[in-house]
């Protein structure tokens, strides 16, 4: 059975942080700016495509395309990055993430520092996909002092603290605490 990876007591309630075992694949279930084209003999990685490696190479060499290389490390699980891994036996380049300048400018709405912003955007897409591949996607439940689940939310990609999972859970506790105070105040007013 799935166990919480962290438990936090907060204002008489309990936040439980869980691994999200049913996380969405960000490459198949989200809209992405970049196209992640990968070639691997055992895994279907990135976006579905029918192009050859030569066709991909021709795309990433164009002047109007921004691309970042994709590397995979495969040892007791897989992880992906835009930089090479130190182990030459279990890692190597598997493709590219890329986007055309016109699409990037449409999304970024500026020509100023567009190349740097585009690379940051593509890097972010790779990071999110890596969180999915490595199982670093989380959710939270909020339980009352009696153990009743009051709230839950899932789909936080990356570290629970950095992704906002914990801060959102605490914000939800504050909302529940305020609702309880408002309800208690109204009932008290009715009795008087």
What is residue 182's predicted lDDT score, i.e. its pLDDT?
60
The answer to whether residues 49 and 37 touch, using CB atoms and an 8 Å cutoff, is: yes
Residue-level pLDDT at 181: 67
Q: Tell me, what's the pLDDT at 64?
A: 93
Per-residue model confidence (pLDDT) at position 178: 81
Residues in the chain: 192
Question: If you count DSSP H runs as helices and E runs as strands, how many of each does the chain have, helices first?
Answer: 4, 8
C-alpha to C-alpha distances, 61 to 3, 37, 82, 102, 108, nearest whole angstrom: 47, 14, 17, 16, 22
> What is the pLDDT, as a whole number, of residue 190?
41
| Residues paired with 138 in a beta bridge | 19, 156
Read off the DSSP letter of residue 47. S
Give alpha helix (H) positions in 12-164.
Answer: 53-60, 101-108, 114-134
Q: 91 near 70, Cβ under 8 Å? A: no
Give this prediction's pTM: 0.87
Contact 168, 151 (CB under 8 A): no
User: For position 187, what pLDDT does the model report?
Assistant: 45
In the predicted model, residues of the chain with pLDDT beneath 50 are 184, 187-192
Q: For position 189, what pLDDT does the model report?
A: 41
The pLDDT value recorded for residue 46 is: 97
**Is residue 36 within 8 Å of 95, Cβ to Cβ?**
yes
Phi-psi group of 155: left, alpha or beta (phi > 0 → left; psi -120 to 50 → alpha; rest → beta): left
CA dist 164 and 168 (Å) reads 6
Both tokens of 118, joined, read 């585009």
pLDDT tens column, 25-55: 999 999 999 999 999 999 999 999 999 999 9
The CA distance from 97 to 62, in Å, is 14
C-alpha to C-alpha distance for 138 and 165, rounded to whole angstroms: 7
């Amino acid at each position: 059975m799935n166990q919480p990876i962290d438990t936090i007591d907060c204002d008489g309630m309990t936040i439980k942080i869980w691994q999200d075992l049913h996380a969405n694949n960000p490459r198949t279930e989200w809209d992405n700016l970049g196209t992640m084209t990968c070639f691997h003999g055992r895994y279907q990685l990135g976006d579905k495509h029918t192009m050859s490696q030569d066709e991909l190479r021709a795309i990433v060499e164009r002047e109007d395309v921004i691309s970042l290389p994709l590397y995979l490390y495969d040892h007791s699980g897989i992880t992906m990055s835009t930089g090479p891994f130190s182990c030459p036996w279990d890692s190597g380049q598997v493709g590219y993430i890329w986007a055309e300048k016109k699409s990037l400018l449409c999304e970024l709405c500026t020509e100023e520092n567009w190349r740097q912003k585009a690379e940051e955007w593509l890097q972010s897409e790779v990071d999110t996909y890596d969180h999915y591949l490595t199982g670093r996607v989380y959710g939270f439940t909020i339980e009352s002092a009696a153990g009743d689940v009051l709230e839950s939310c899932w789909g936080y990609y990356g570290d629970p603290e950095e992704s906002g999972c914990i801060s959102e859970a605490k914000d939800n506790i504050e909302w529940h605490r305020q609702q309880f105070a408002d309800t208690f105040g109204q009932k008290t007013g009715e009795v008087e």
